[in-house]
Structure 1
């Protein structure tokens, strides 16, 4: 699901940039900037690079549905996965292409600010299993930015960080008939 999310975003950004900028090739790639040995990744040069910075669970998402019927509390476990993906978009353009990096990064931010939610109604071509995506630009202070780029092992390039809240189905990638766990209504249990 994580790869599908990043590939979907890259495809959407490529479609927009090719249409608006009359480009012949894909400008956005899902790629890290540096290889494990510290060398710059060949496919990252003169591209907008999407890469994963962090994964966390969505703490506000409700994982189980609880209803009361005939004196029993019914708990229906959810197979949905709620993830927060911190996704960096870095414009890795070299030498005299620096102004291009700023231009394409601006176009990317404009597109993502206009498209903060992707779901089946506005994007029927979303990958199977991915149901919704919410995008929020993250603000980072200089110290946080310095720490992040130190962890990444490289020198800063113009970039932006987005939190992508993704809702996906469980591993089976299909809706299912949920099972129900029943508890007497007056039972003291710690299920939320």
Structure 2
């Protein structure tokens, strides 16, 4: 059941969040830097919240309550986006919107009793990176145009892929065997 809830919340989030930057720019007149800051703060806040919810989840063992609370906050925030008349409303709604819990790698490498904390730390670091990436993307778009943002994204993705191949020599073997 939780899987379906998560799927439908993710679908609703993607539908809203994919159009939100366009709405902020065209309807509310936000600059790309402002949009980058709003998105970066939202992602950073989600990551920071997860570190505390993970530790609280480990301590109290109340995982269901925290999941329901997160989904409820996301559901409550969704109607605010189309009704927002100022960037303050969008920022506030984006601030409380939830993000789902990323990652088999974290679950497989963390101690069972500390998995919530491990997810939190992972999300804190990821959120900081997302905040920085969002501000950089908004700045690139604002100064050099849309193509610069996409070129930078593709460049970072390429560097990440190369880094993964260099760090995991067995990954090269797996990839080359699949290619043949």
TM-score by length of 1: 0.29
Task: Name whichever structure is richer in helix by fraction.
Answer: 2
Q: Which has the higher contact order (CA 8 A, sep 6+)?
A: 2
TM-score by length of 2: 0.31
Q: Bigger radius of gyration, 1 or 2? A: 1
